[in-house]
Chains A and B, each alone.
Chain A
Amino acid sequence: MERTTSGAGFVALGGFVGALARYGVDVAVGDATGVGTLVVNVVGSFALGLLVTRAVGPRTRLLVGTGVISSFTTYSTFATDAIALGTVAGTLYVAASYGLGFGAAAAGLAVGRGS
């Protein structure tokens, strides 16, 4: 892991891009609580599974992994959306996010390891 200032710069640049892309998905999806967050979390979990199994350099890992993908996905909005949805819908939302998100991460790892 690169611990230099330039390493943090890669993370910041990736964070700018990843957060903006997540915001774009939110705006495109509209007012349906939790839908945009579910989409980014599942897609991002698959993408990160692919990335971590590849022999990429430390700068690519910081820019794309720690920066773009990790900022594209989010846990805090997932938690507050689960609260906003209430007990029944919130529990279903958590189950769907965990089930699909972990499944996507496992699939990304499997595809990355198999090729």
Chain B
Amino acid sequence: MTAVPLVGALAVGLGGAAGATCRHLVGLAVPGRRSLVAVNVLGSLALGVVLAAPLGSAIGTGLGVGFCGAFTTFSSFAIETVTAAESEGRDVAVGFALGVLLAAIAAALLGAAIVRAAT
């Protein structure tokens, strides 16, 4: 790491607080599992941008590891997938899990492509 560790850690914590709060607000505004699709796809797009952009070390870590990392979530997604399999069947769960995967990867690639096109 090139940044002072304490500065990087503080940036991650503050970014994480902001990212978790924004995810919470999306959860209040968008019903059900659509909010998980929204945060994970939008957050992957944002991380694609952050990783490709020429940012300073502490800012990049705070935005990437902190904000994008906390705005998106795997644990809630995993619980949603498992409970969907239990209550709505395997096909619904597989469609949800693969749909989020493909959309998030496409979004991250798009984010990086946007930065490359703009710089």
Where the two chains meet, the residues of A that have a C-beta atom closer than 8 Å to any C-beta of B are 1, 3, 7-8, 11-20, 22-23, 26-27, 40-41, 44-45, 47-49, 52, 62, 66-67, 69-80, 82-83, 94, 97-98, 101-102, 104-106, 109
Chain B residues bordering chain A, tally (CB within 8 A): 54
Question: Across the interface, which residues of A come within 8 angstroms of B16, CB to CB?
Answer: 15-20, 22, 71
Among the interface residues A22, A76, A97, which one has the most CB atoms of the partner chain B within 10 A? A76
Inter-chain contact A48/B76, CB cutoff 8 Å: yes
Those of B55-110 within 8 Å (CB) of chain A: 61, 64-66, 68-79, 81-83, 97, 100-101, 104-105, 107-109
Report the bound CA distance from A93 to B39 in whole Å.
21
CB-contact partner of B70 in A18, A47, A49, A52, under 8 A: A18
Report the bound CA distance from A48 to B73 in whole Å.
11
Closest chain B CB from A40 CB (angstroms): 8
CB-contact partner of A76 in B8, B83, B108, under 8 A: B108
25 contacts between A and B (CB under 8 A): A11-B24, A12-B20, A15-B21, A19-B19, A19-B20, A19-B65, A23-B12, A23-B61, A41-B75, A48-B79, A70-B23, A71-B70, A74-B73, A75-B39, A75-B73, A75-B100, A76-B40, A76-B71, A77-B69, A79-B101, A79-B104, A80-B47, A98-B101, A105-B75, A106-B82
Q: Is the interface of B mostly helix, strand, loop or mixed?
A: helix
Q: Taking the complex as formed, is B25 at the interface, i.e. its CB lies under 8 A from any CB of chain A?
A: yes
Question: Across the interface, which residues of B come within 8 angstroms of A66, CB to CB?
Answer: 20, 23-24, 27
Question: Across the interface, which residues of B come within 8 angstroms of A14, CB to CB?
Answer: 20
Given contacts A15-B19, A66-B23, are A75 and B66 in contact (CB under 8 A)? no
A-B pairs with the 5 shortest C-beta distances?
A19-B16, A15-B20, A71-B70, A105-B78, A75-B72
Q: Is the interface of A mostly helix, strand, loop or mixed?
A: helix
